[in-house]
Amino acid sequence: MPHGKILPYHALKTLEQLHGELAGKIEGNRKTGDKLRLQMMQVEAVMKMLNPDVNLSAIAVKRRNQGNPWFKRGTLYGAVLEC
């Protein structure tokens, strides 16, 4: 099988573009994170206004979506292979 050849100049240019794209994604996520933190602080402030005794540290952090409860991860693909 033939191997592709790439000149070092082209490889560096491609890597520079990739580096720029990744830096842009990091910056975009940082801005999104700042916006989410602000929204969370606003929700906390309203909760405190409604009930000053509320314990905000007791609220569990939900990190990910648990998915469909009917189909567990990996079970559907295995069932297809058995047919």
Instruction: Give 59's DSSP letter.
Output: S
Task: Give residue 16's pLDDT.
Answer: 85
Instruction: Give 64's DSSP letter.
Output: S
Give me 53's structure tokens.
């005794």
Task: Give residue 81's pLDDT.
Answer: 62
Task: Give residue 78's pLDDT.
Answer: 58
Per-position pLDDT tens, the chain of length 83: 567 777 777 877 888 888 888 778 888 888 888 888 888 899 889 888 998 888 888 777 766 666 666 766 666 665 556 65
**d(Cα 14, Cα 23) in Å, to the nearest integer?**
14
